[in-house]
A and B are shown apart, each in its own frame.
Chain A
Amino acid sequence: MTATAQQAGRPRTTRAPRRLPYLVRQLITLLVTLFAITIVIFGLTAIAGDPARDILGQYATDEQVVAFQQLHHLDQPVFVRYFEWLGGVLTGDLGTSYQSNGPVWDVISPRLGPSVVLVLLSWVLTVVISVPIGLWSGVRLRGKRDASLTFVTLIVAAFPEFVLGLMLAILLGVWLAWLPVDSTAVSYGGLFDSPSAYVLPAITIALGTIPYIIRLMRANAREVASETYVRAAVLRGVTEPSLSLRHILPNAAPPVVTALGLQFAGLIGGVVVAETLFGFPGMGQLLAQSAASRDAPVVEALALMIGALFVVANLAADAIVVYVTPKLRDAVR
Chain B
Amino acid sequence: MSADVLNTVTAADVSLPKQRSLRGFLAIPQGGFGVGLLLLLLALVVVGPFIAPDSPNEISDQPILGPSAQHWLGTDSYGRDILSRVLHGGASVILLPLLAVSAAMVVATLVGLVSGYLGGKVDSVVTWVINIALAIPSYLAVLVVVAAFGGGGAVVVTAVAVVYAPYITRVIRSATQAIAPREFVLAARARGESLGWILFREITPNIGPTLLVEIALRFTYAIMFIASLSFLGLGVQPPSANWGVMVAQNRALLLVSPVGVLVPALLIGVLAIAVNLIADALTQFFGDRIHERLMV
Binding site for B on A (CB under 8 A): 1-2, 33, 36-37, 40-41, 44-45, 47-48, 51, 54, 151, 154-155, 157-163, 166-167, 169-170, 173-174, 181, 216, 219, 255, 258-259, 261-262, 264-265, 268-269, 272-273, 276-277, 287-288, 290-292, 294-296, 299-300, 303, 306-307, 310-311, 314, 318
| Minimum Cβ distance to chain B for residue A36 (Å) | 5
B265–A162 touching, CB < 8 Å:
yes
* Of A294, A296, A314, the contact of B1 (CB 8 Å cutoff): A314
| Minimum Cβ distance to chain A for residue B125 (Å) | 14
A269–B138 touching, CB < 8 Å:
yes
A70 to B75, CA, bound (A): 47
B30–A288 touching, CB < 8 Å:
no
CB neighbours (8 Å) of B150 from chain A are 54, 294
A158–B269 touching, CB < 8 Å:
yes
* Of B135, B228, B251, B292, the contact of A36 (CB 8 Å cutoff): B135
Are A299 and B144 also in contact (CB < 8 A) when A154-B30, A272-B139 are?
yes
A45 to B277, CA, bound (A): 38
A288–B233 touching, CB < 8 Å:
yes
B227–A160 touching, CB < 8 Å:
yes
Q: Decide yes or no whether B169 CB sits under 8 A from chain A.
A: no
B255–A303 touching, CB < 8 Å:
no
A303–B143 touching, CB < 8 Å:
yes
B295–A166 touching, CB < 8 Å:
no
| Minimum Cβ distance to chain A for residue B12 (Å) | 15
A291–B234 touching, CB < 8 Å:
yes
| Minimum Cβ distance to chain A for residue B202 (Å) | 17
Interface of A is mostly: helix
7 A-B residue contacts at CB 8 Å? A277-B231, A288-B234, A291-B143, A299-B144, A310-B135, A314-B135, A318-B2
A160 to B97, CA, bound (A): 14
- Please count how many residues in chain B sit with their CB below 8 Å of the partner chain's CB atoms: 52
CB neighbours (8 Å) of B255 from chain A are 174, 181
B269–A306 touching, CB < 8 Å:
no
CB neighbours (8 Å) of B32 from chain A are none
| Minimum Cβ distance to chain A for residue B92 (Å) | 15
Within 8 A of A (CB), among B238-296: 244, 247, 251, 254-255, 258, 261-262, 265-266, 268-269, 272-273, 275-277, 280, 292, 295
CB neighbours (8 Å) of B280 from chain A are 154
| Minimum Cβ distance to chain A for residue B87 (Å) | 19
| Minimum Cβ distance to chain A for residue B58 (Å) | 26
Within 8 A of A (CB), among B20-73: 30
For A290, give the chain B residue with the smallest CB separation. B147
B144–A159 touching, CB < 8 Å:
no
7 closest cross-chain pairs (CB), A and B: A1-B119, A48-B148, A265-B137, A158-B276, A299-B147, A160-B224, A269-B139
Are A166 and B132 also in contact (CB < 8 A) when A287-B143, A318-B1 are?
no
A300 to B262, CA, bound (A): 34
| Minimum Cβ distance to chain B for residue A307 (Å) | 6
B268–A174 touching, CB < 8 Å:
no
Interface of B is mostly: helix
CB neighbours (8 Å) of A307 from chain B are 135-137, 140
Quick one: CB contact mask for B134-164 with A, threshold 8 Å, 1 for yes? 0111111101111111110000000000000
A272–B1 touching, CB < 8 Å:
no
Quick one: CB contact mask for B97-114 with A, threshold 8 Å, 1 for yes? 000000000000000000
CB neighbours (8 Å) of B265 from chain A are 162-163, 166-167
A291 to B152, CA, bound (A): 12
A288 to B123, CA, bound (A): 36
Q: Decide yes or no whether B120 CB sits under 8 A from chain A.
A: yes
A308 to B261, CA, bound (A): 36
Quick one: CB contact mask for B196-207 with A, threshold 8 Å, 1 for yes? 000000000000
A265–B147 touching, CB < 8 Å:
no
* Of A167, A219, A292, A306, the contact of B151 (CB 8 Å cutoff): A292
Q: Decide yes or no whether B174 CB sits under 8 A from chain A.
A: no
Q: Decide yes or no whether B232 CB sits under 8 A from chain A.
A: yes
| Minimum Cβ distance to chain B for residue A294 (Å) | 6
CB neighbours (8 Å) of A173 from chain B are 254
For A51, give the chain B residue with the smallest CB separation. B148
CB neighbours (8 Å) of A161 from chain B are 228
A216 to B294, CA, bound (A): 12
| Minimum Cβ distance to chain B for residue A119 (Å) | 13
CB neighbours (8 Å) of A303 from chain B are 140, 143-144
CB neighbours (8 Å) of B295 from chain A are 216, 255, 258-259, 262
CB neighbours (8 Å) of A170 from chain B are 254, 258, 261-262
CB neighbours (8 Å) of A155 from chain B are 273, 276
